[in-house]
Amino acid sequence: MFVEKLIEDVDVKAIAEKVLKGTRITLEEGVVLYKKADIATLGYLANKVREQKNGNKTYFNKNLHIEPTNRCIYSCKFCSYYQKKGEDGWEYSREQMLDKITNMGDEITEVHIVGGVHPQWDLHYYGEFFQKIKQLRPDVHIKAFTAVEISFIAKKSKMSVAEGLAALKEYGLDSIPGGGAEIFDEEIRQKVCPHKDTGEEWLYLHETAHKLGIPTNATILYGHIESEYHRIEHLNRLRELQDRTGGFNVFIPLKYKKENNELGYLGEVSVIEDIKMYAISRIFLDNFGHIKAYWPMIGKDISQLLLSFGVDDFDGTINDSTKIYSLAGADDQAPSMSTDEMIKMIKEAGRVPVERDSIYNIIHEY
């Protein structure tokens, strides 16, 4: 009924019919949908897919973010986080980071560890830290490091990617977040992060992790110099890898934020563009179980809205201050949310709050 009466564009109507039948759309069709479909159409389709996969459930977990350092060997043009030489920064010791975990007690089920690519710290430095976390909290899930961090610390420890991942798993690594994917297109990537690992290297590392039994997340950084085609092509590469391995837990679109970095002159894309990115992601990534709104970056109010545009995961309570996005201009400068607040926000959006563990096993349904 919606397709027949409300979609006038012939191309969009044909694509929408495929989506509603559960038929995979092509890269080219994804681009057409992105460029020509209106917000109402995208929302209708994304919500249909979301509810077909996850019903009315909206997931969250209780997590602690630790950013060991903002020292970094790279200086990506979109980054507001890394420490330039001579500027103030931080380097938490392993003891300081363990204190953060100790102070949380049983309030968390996951420790999320991501930071700059420190020039001195190798795989064994972090591995021994993982061992101490497990001694302190054997039950806590360690989700750590972007692909570029793993690539560097493995190389510094004279290991291949596969050897490094296996060693980290032995030390206690449970899963890998999706950061560092940025945008896979080689030409665009060369312009925004020319010194970082390539898109193909990111994909190879995640595929290797999946083969070793390490689940991972996936991301995109959107809203800078890329086009709609580059975004869909990025999603397509992720979808192809998920077809091969099934190792991705969730996809998280990450919005480029303009403060304190070299691309600030671009400004930021609109909320409408944010909504389209999330909705298209849910429609196109038919083999991903979950789409997450990372609320410290996109904002709490927009995250609530996105629960009607394909999103079924509200990330976590994030009981610590994460600076990667606050330094780039995110509204929440010290992001933290209580479980009660998380539940309230999800219920206000008409969804059912579900506490999950890090790999989407249900802990409690509210």
Please tell me the distance from the alpha carbon of residue 295 to that of residue 312, in angstroms, as a whole number: 12
What is the pLDDT at residue 315?
Answer: 87
Query: Going by C-beta distance under 8 Å and a sequence separation of 6 or more, which residues neighbour residue 230?
Result: 183, 185, 188
pLDDT tens digits along 2-50: 665 678 889 999 999 999 999 999 999 999 999 999 999 999 999 999 9
Three-state DSSP class for residue 313: strand
- Can you give the C-alpha Rg of the chain in angstroms? 20
CB 345 within 8 A of CB 334: no
pLDDT tens digits along 329-357: 445 445 578 889 999 999 999 999 999 99
283 closest CA partner among 111, 95, 118, 42: 42
What is the pLDDT at residue 257?
Answer: 80
Inform me whether the pLDDT recorded for 164 exceeds 50. Answer: yes
Q: Percent of the chain beyond pLDDT 90?
A: 70
CB 286 within 8 A of CB 292: no
Inform me whether the pLDDT recorded for 328 exceeds 50. Answer: no
Instruction: Quickly state the pLDDT bin for 79 (edges 50, 70, 90).
Output: low
Inform me whether the pLDDT recorded for 92 exceeds 50. Answer: yes
Mean pLDDT, residues 235-254 taken together: 98
What is the pLDDT at residue 326?
Answer: 42
344, β-bridge pairs: none
Please tell me the distance from the alpha carbon of residue 311 to that of residue 314, in angstroms, as a whole number: 8
Sequence letter at residue 59: Y
What is the pLDDT at residue 115?
Answer: 82
Inform me whether the pLDDT recorded for 187 exceeds 90. Answer: yes
Q: Percent of the chain beyond pLDDT 70?
A: 87
Mean pLDDT, residues 304-318 taken together: 92
Neighbouring CB atoms inside 10 A of 121's CB total 21
| 120 vs 154 pLDDT, higher one | 154
Mean pLDDT, residues 293-302 taken together: 90
What is the pLDDT at residue 319?
Answer: 57
Measure CA of the first residue to CA of the last residue in the chain; give whole Å.
33
Mean pLDDT, residues 239-261 taken together: 90
Q: What is the CATH number of the domain that holds 317?
A: 3.20.20.70
Pairing of strands 362-365, 110-113: unpaired
Sequence letter at residue 255: K
CB 190 within 8 A of CB 225: no
Three-state DSSP class for residue 217: strand
- Please tell me the total count of domains within the chain: 1
280 closest CA partner among 304, 259, 310: 310
Inform me whether the pLDDT recorded for 174 exceeds 60. Answer: yes
Instruction: Quickly state the pLDDT bin for 317 (edges 50, 70, 90).
Output: confident
Pairing of strands 352-356, 57-61: parallel
Domain that holds residue 78: 2-365
Sequence letter at residue 194: P
Mean pLDDT, residues 145-149 taken together: 92
Inform me whether the pLDDT recorded for 220 exceeds 70. Answer: yes
